Amino acid sequence: MDSGASEFQIEAAISKIFASGQPWNVTDECIQVMGGMGFMKDAGVERIMRDLRIFRIFEGTNDILRLFVALNGFQNAGNHLKNLQKALKNPLGNVGLLTGEITKRAKRYESGLGTGLSLSGSVHPELAHSGDLAVKALEHFGGTVEELLLKHGKKIIDEQFVLKRVADSAIDLYTMVVVLSRASRSLSQGLTSAQLEKIMCETWCVEAHDRIMQNVKDLKSSSSRKLFNNLRDVSTSLVENGGVVAPHPLGF
C-alpha cells in the first residue's frame, strides 16, 4: 500500500484470518497458564476469549476467506499456466514449449536447483537463513500449486480439503515475509528489541517453513488423498442420515 499498490484483497483476507485466529490460541494458552484463575470472570481473560470467538465468524468467515485466498492464488497461477495447458492439449504441435517447461521443472524440483529467487538484499544479512527458508518454502509451494492446477483444472474449486492446505501455506508464506520485513527493519535501525525480534523471526520462519513442507507433502501423497475422501464420506453419511450414523454403545 505504501508503494502505491491498489490490489490487496488477498493480503487483507490473510491478515483477517491470521489476526483473528492467532489471538484465540494466545488467549487459550494464557488461560491454561493461569489455571483455574484464568477461567474465572475476575481475571478478565475469559471475556477476551468469548469476544475473540466472533472474529473468526464475522467480516467474512475464516473458512470462506481461506477459499478466497486459495482460489485467487490458483487464478493467478492459472493465468501463467494457460499456455502450458493449451500446449498439453496438442503435445505434438508444441514439442518445443513442453520440452522447455519439462526441463525447467525437472531442474527446479529434482536436481535441487531453485528458481534463482533470493531475498538477500531485501532481508537483513543476519536473517539470511530465514530468508532462504522462505524462498525454499515458496518454491516448493509454487511447484505444488502448478501440479494441483494441472491435475484438477477448474474442478479444483470442489477440492476444499486441498484448498484449505493451500490457503494455510499461503498464509504461512505471507507471515514469514512479514516477520522478515519487520525484524530486518529493527536490526537495520539498531532497535533495542532487535535481537529478540531476530530470535522470534527465526523461530517463526522455521516453524512456518516446516508447516508448509508438511502441507506440500500432504497435498501430493496418496494416503492424504484417501484421508480427504474418508472425511468427505463421513460428512456425506452424516448429512444423509440427518445425524450421527453409528449407534451409541450405551444405547443413548
Ligand X SMILES: Cc1cc2nc3c(=O)[nH]c(=O)nc-3n(C[C@H](O)[C@H](O)[C@H](O)COP(=O)(O)OP(=O)(O)OC[C@H]3O[C@@H](n4cnc5c(N)ncnc54)[C@H](O)[C@@H]3O)c2cc1C
Residues listed for the chain: 252
Question: Grid coordinates standing for 78?
Answer: 492459472
Q: Which stretch binds ligand X (CB under 6 A): 50-58, 73-81, 115-123, 140-148?
A: 50-58
Minimum distance of ligand X from residue 206's CB (angstroms): 30
Q: Which stretch binds ligand X (CB under 6 A): 57-65, 105-113, 190-198, 222-230?
A: 57-65
- Which of 174, 144, 170 is closest to 71 using CA atoms? 170
Check binding of 54 to ligand X (CB under 6 A). yes
Check binding of 64 to ligand X (CB under 6 A). yes
Check binding of 58 to ligand X (CB under 6 A). yes
Binding test (CB under 6 A) with ligand X, winner from 11, 28, 63, 101: 63
Please tell me the chain's helix, strand, coil percentages from 3-state DSSP, rounded to the nearest 5: 80, 0, 20
- Which of 131, 124, 245 is closest to 187 using CA atoms? 124
Check binding of 106 to ligand X (CB under 6 A). no
Q: Which stretch binds ligand X (CB under 6 A): 58-66, 85-93, 147-155, 172-180?
A: 58-66
| Contact (CB, 8 A) for 123 and 130 | yes
Question: Grid coordinates standing for 77?
Answer: 497461477
Q: Which stretch binds ligand X (CB under 6 A): 61-69, 88-96, 143-151, 207-215?
A: 61-69
**CA torsion 230→232→234→238, rounded to 10°?**
-170
CA distance 127 to 212: 19
Binders of ligand X: how many residues, by CB under 6 A?
A: 6
Check binding of 33 to ligand X (CB under 6 A). no
Minimum distance of ligand X from residue 213's CB (angstroms): 26
CA distance 147 to 166: 12
Check binding of 157 to ligand X (CB under 6 A). no
Q: Is 59 considered catalytic here?
A: yes
- Please pick, among 11, 59, 101, 139, the residue that the annotation labels catalytic: 59
Contact flags string 179-198 toward ligand X, x per CB under 6 A: --------------------
DSSP string, 201-218: HHHHHHHHHHHHHHHHHH
Minimum distance of ligand X from residue 56's CB (angstroms): 8
CA distance 77 to 145: 7
Catalytic residues: 59
Q: Which residues of this protein are in contact with ligand X, per CB under 6 A?
A: 54, 57-58, 61, 63-64
